[in-house]
Amino acid sequence: MTNPNIKVNIAEVELKNPVMTASGTFGSGREYGEYVDLNKLGAVVVKGVAKEPWDGNPTPRIAETYGGMLNSVGLQNPGVDEFIEKDIPFLRQFDTKIIVNIAGKSIEDYCEVAKKLIKADIDLIELNISCPNVKAGGVNFGTDPAMVEEVTKAVKKVAKQPLIVKLTPNVTDIVAIAKAAVRGGADALSLINTLLGMAIDIHKRKPILANTVGGLSGPAIKPVALRMVYQVANAVDVPIIGMGGIANGEDAVEFILAGASAVAVGTANFNNPTATIDVIDEVKEYMDKYNVENLDDIRGKLL
């Protein structure tokens, strides 16, 4: 195998390869670190952190659906302080980039997390304005262009690290939202977060999730994710991190052809703990097979 160039650059941060973990599916890397060599990942995107600990939603929080799953974790997290203290030193042992996904219920919340991260040794911030599980705010931010612009602007102002804004797919016009984030100063965009869904246990006659609804992820949503990445890549100039159902190298290549600079692997980890590494290897195999020396040669290059 030749050694194709798969480095990517997201807002001046160079990743050794385009494969990262999708926030919330990989903890802070500790658990999957027993299964994959974290040094091999382009970046680890950690579970969303808020300014203080969140309990999340009641259980059951997980439901399986055809080709996917629903989660209503509700952004349970130990808060940014504990995260900074415990997880950053752990992750910094590895030669990979650290992307911190931040959650909040108000603009002030988000800003406070970003401020606390100013001194933290991390590479990028991913602003999650799209989690459907937080009733208090998240969902509104992500679905209204004006709000998206406002929150992005506010966080951008206080954040030291470059800012990725993660978009929700539960909108009529993803391009309008993406443009708003870019206007607000987003250095990059992540898409997509989960689709809002539901599942019912017909024997108990109850929703499976204690929270009634939850976020749909996995291969089932890939066509929607790919379409949105394609639309947004053709409308904005910032790099895009594509995700939604990516389980192998072929999936990743689809996103790159659609215009993604990098990709994230989420739900696939649950089916295959080494999914991230497999994706990296298979992207290289694809490049090899078609003599693609540089990822840039195919990024967004649909024929």
Residue ranges in contact with a copy of itself by CB under 8 A = 65-68, 70, 143, 170-173, 195-200, 202, 204-207, 212-213, 216, 219-224, 226-227, 230, 245, 250, 253-254, 257-258, 286, 298, 301-303
The tokens of 256 are what?
A: 């790159």
Decide if 245 contacts 65 (C-beta within 8 A): no
Candidates 245, 265, 242, 255; CA nearest to 286 is: 255
Q: Quick one: 125 or 189, whose CB is closer to a copy of itself? A: 189
Least distance between ligand FMN and beta carbon 275 (Å): 9
The tokens of 203 are what?
A: 């024997």
131 labelled catalytic: yes
C-alpha count within 13 angstroms, C-beta hemisphere, residue 66:
0
The tokens of 202 are what?
A: 């017909």
User: Binds 1, which of another protein, a copy of itself, ligand FMN, none (CB < 5 to 8 A, cut-off by type)?
Assistant: none
Largest distance between two CA atoms of the chain: 56
Name the segment binding ligand FMN (CB under 6 A); options: 85-93, 110-118, 234-242, 262-270: 262-270
Among 259, 267, 280, 295, binds ligand FMN (CB under 6 A): 267
Phi, psi angle pair for 120, to nearest 5°: -75, 150
Decide if 298 contacts 17 (C-beta within 8 A): no
CA 197 to chain centre: 18
Look at residue 82 and give its three-state secondary structure.
Answer: helix
The residues, ordered by sequence, that sit 6+ positions from 45 with a Cβ below 8 Å of its Cβ are 20, 21, 22, 23, 26, 99, 100, 101, 126, 264
Which among 70, 127, 131, 148 is annotated as catalytic?
131
Q: Quick one: 140 or 272, whose CB is closer to another protein? A: 272
Q: Which helix (H) or strand (E) holds 71?
A: strand 68-71
Least distance between ligand FMN and beta carbon 128 (Å): 4
Q: Is 171 in the site for ligand FMN (CB under 6 A)?
A: no
User: Binds 298, which of ligand FMN, another protein, a copy of itself, none (CB < 5 to 8 A, cut-off by type)?
Assistant: a copy of itself
Using CB under 8 A as the criterion, which residues of the chain lie in contact with another protein when the complex forms? 24-27, 30-32, 34-37, 47, 55-56, 58-64, 66-69, 71, 73, 76, 208, 218-219, 267, 269-274
Residues that bind ligand FMN (CB under 6 A): 22-25, 47-48, 71, 73, 75, 101, 128, 131, 166, 193-194, 217-218, 221, 243-246, 265-268
Catalytic site positions: 131
